[in-house]
C-alpha cells in the first residue's frame, strides 16, 4: 500500500451553551487537569499528521493562545459565522492547498479517543481505497444518534438521523461518531456540492456522503471497540463522566 500523508482538522468552534459558562470555550474545560482540546491535538501529533488545523470560534483567543504555548506548528482558522460542521471544515481548505493525502476530522470535545482506534480507522480507509471512512460505535441506547446503514458487502450506504429513521432503522444499534477520515480531493469536492437547505440553515458535513453515494464513491466504517471513546462532552454531567473515565484509565491494572 502506497504511503499517504495525513492532515488533521479539529472542529473546536462551539460555544458549549449547556456548559453554562459563556466566558469559556467548551474545548478549554479540563479533563484530567488538561483542557480537552489538548488530548485531541496530542492525538494528531501521535498520528504524525503533517498539518494540524484547529477551527476556532467562540472565545477563540484563549484556545489559540493555549495551543500556541503547548504545540508547535498547529494552524488555527476561524469559523465566523458558525454555519455547521460542513462549513467548519470548509475553513480549512486553503490551509490544505498542495496537500494530496488523507484528512482526519476530529471533534475538539471528544478527548477519550485512543490512538489505536484512530489507527484502525485510517488503516481500513487506506486499505479499502475509500473516499471516506466513518468511525462508528455500537451502543445500548442509540436514541438521538445517526444510524449507520450498511449493504451486504459491509460498505456504508446511509447515515440516517433519528428524525428521518424508519422503525427498522431505529433498531440499528451502530451509530455515527462524527469522526471521519477522507481522501482530501473527495472531501473538498463533496463540500462544494452541499447546501444549507435544512431547518438550521447550516452546512452539514454528513451531506458530503450523499454526494459520494450519488457518484458511486466508496464509504467504509470502523467500529470503535469501546463506545466510551467517541463520547462528546456537551454538558457538565458528561464532563464529570469523562473525568471519572480518565481517572480510571490512569489507575494501573491490578491495583
Q: Which residues, listed in sequence order, are joined to residue 223 by a DSSP beta bridge?
A: 136
In the chain, where does DSSP find H-type helix?
36-46, 60-70, 85-90, 115-127, 184-191, 207-214, 236-250
Distances (CA, A) of 198 to 50, 55, 204, 205, 251: 35, 23, 9, 13, 46
Alpha carbon 88 to its chain centroid, in Å, reads 11
Neighbours of 81 (CB within 10 A): 7
Distances (CA, A) of 134 to 42, 87, 117: 21, 19, 12
Helix (H, G, I), strand (E, B) or coil at 58: coil
Instruction: Give catalytic residues, as residue numbers.
Output: 18
Amino acid at each position: 500500500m502506497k504511503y499517504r500523508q495525513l492532515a488533521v482538522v479539529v472542529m473546536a468552534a462551539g460555544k458549549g451553551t449547556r456548559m453554562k459558562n459563556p466566558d469559556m470555550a467548551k474545548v478549554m474545560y479540563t479533563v484530567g487537569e488538561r483542557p480537552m482540546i489538548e488530548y485531541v491535538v496530542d492525538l494528531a501529533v501521535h498520528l504524525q499528521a503533517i498539518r494540524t488545523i484547529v477551527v476556532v470560534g467562540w472565545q477563540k483567543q484563549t484556545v489559540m493562545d493555549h495551543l500556541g504555548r503547548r504545540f508547535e506548528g498547529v494552524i488555527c482558522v476561524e469559523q465566523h459565522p458558525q454555519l455547521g460542521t460542513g462549513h467548519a471544515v470548509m475553513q480549512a481548505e486553503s490551509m490544505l492547498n498542495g496537500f494530496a493525502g488523507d484528512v482526519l476530522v476530529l471533534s475538539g470535545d471528544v478527548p477519550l479517543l485512543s490512538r489505536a482506534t484512530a489507527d484502525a480507522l485510517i488503516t481500513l480507509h487506506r486499505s479499502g481505497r475509500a473516499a471516506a471512512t466513518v468511525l462508528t460505535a455500537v451502543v445500548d441506547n442509540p436514541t438521538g444518534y445517526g444510524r449507520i446503514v450498511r449493504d451486504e458487502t459491509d460498505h456504508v450506504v446511509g447515515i440516517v438521523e433519528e428524525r428521518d429513521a424508519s422503525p427498522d432503522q431505529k433498531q440499528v444499534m451502530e451509530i455515527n461518531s462524527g469522526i471521519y477520515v477522507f481522501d482530501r480531493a473527495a472531501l473538498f469536492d463533496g463540500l462544494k456540492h452541499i447546501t444549507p437547505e435544512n431547518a438550521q440553515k447550516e452546512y452539514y458535513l454528513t451531506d458530503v456522503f450523499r454526494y459520494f453515494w450519488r457518484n458511486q464513491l466508496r464509504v467504509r466504517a470502523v467500529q470503535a471497540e469501546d463506545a466510551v471513546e467517541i463520547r462528546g462532552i456537551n454538558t457538565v454531567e458528561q464532563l464529570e463522566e469523562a473525568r471519572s473515565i480518565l481517572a480510571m484509565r490512569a489507575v494501573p491494572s491490578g491495583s
